[in-house]
Structure 1
Amino acid sequence: MTILVLELERPDSLTVEGFWALRNNFFAYTISFFWLYVQKISSKTVWWVMILLFASSLFSYVTAIVSTHFTDSLAQVVYGLVVLFITVSNRGLYRSLYQDDPNNLPLKERIEDMKKWIFFDTVGKVVGLILSAAIFRQPCFFPFF
């Protein structure tokens, strides 16, 4: 199912308008992705798994865009948004799993470990996203590219 992302076109120009021109493609991808599972959804946890898979499937797409347009701030921001989407959906999945089975000791330990770093991890990603949007386009920071 995640192979559907390979069919997504890359924007002709790396602008908001370029991505907007592909909105129907993204909409069709989203519908196709979730349509495969709508009949089989039985719990909130399964939804979180689907959301995480959806977010993760976009990772190779945005990686290809950022590798082609490495110093472009929009490419970096789109990449950062997908990374944050993955982080949020992963956190939601863990929370849902714990709510489904609060007596699962290994899961509880994993969630406790996650709580120690999730705040700093998320803040670091948000700061990276802001820096990408604000200053990444200045190639003087990366003279070797």
Structure 2
Amino acid sequence: MSKERLTTFIDAVIAIIMTILVLDLPHPEMMTLFGLWTLRANFFSYALSFFWLGTMWANMHNEWQNIRGIGKDTVWYALLMLFFASLFPYTTSLVAENFSNTVAQSLYGIVVLMVTLFNFLSYRSLVVANKEKKVFYLQQLSRKHFMKWDITIKIIGMIITIFIWPPAMTISILLAVVFILFYPRERSDV
């Protein structure tokens, strides 16, 4: 399979998921500022999921530019990543309706962690398939370092969610998005 075919498929599925997210937003019972304010958890959950998916998509777009080949593993990891990503609209609505619920937040966290895991595994499989590309390999070494921090933040959020404070999962995902956006990337113009 060509890289272009896989990236086009990933782009399409992520676009559909992001569209479904907005379709799940409820309308206020009364069209007033107070009516909109009562839906703040819904809007926060939507925005967090949208920007988390958008950040993932942007990073994939930027980093996949330097690859030539993909292997079978990459295709399967991408498919598994998209499977879990397709659960975002469902888990986002659960969190929006049950923001302080441990089960809802944990389920959301599991989906985020599984998407992160399969995204990481797909990048790792790309390194194997593109060993001859020194620039790509160096970028992936940098990515591996920041992925450790990303996963650590999310796991800490999951632990706090389960044992102490349910909204910690959502907050940790927000922190991870901010971390990913501002993580210093090393330029490798090799």
Partner SS state of residue 159, structure 2: helix
Offset of residue 103 of structure 1: 1.4
Offset of residue 83 of structure 1: 0.8
Aligned pairs, number: 102
Match of residue 107 from structure 1? 136
Match of residue 80 from structure 1? 109
Q: TM-score, normalised by structure 1?
A: 0.62
- C-alpha distance in 1 between matches for 2:166 and 2:122: 34
Match of residue 61 from structure 1? 90
Offset of residue 137 of structure 1: 4.6
Identity of aligned residues (%): 31
Match of residue 47 from structure 1? 76
Deviations 1:4-60 (A, max 9, x none): 9x7xxxxxxxxxxxxxxxxxxxxxxxxxxxxxxxxxxx7111101101111211122
- C-alpha distance in 2 between matches for 1:61 and 1:113: 33
Deviations 1:58-98 (A, max 9, x none): 12221111011001011110011111101110110001111
**Could you list the runs of 5+ residues in structure 1 that have no partner in the other structure?**
7-41, 139-145
Residues 57 and 107 (structure 1), Cα distance of their counterparts in 2 relative to 1, 3 Å cut:
farther
- C-alpha distance in 2 between matches for 1:137 and 1:45: 34
Tell me how large the CA RMSD over aligned residues is: 2.2
Contact 2:81 2:115 in 1 (8 A): yes
Q: TM-score, normalised by structure 2?
A: 0.49
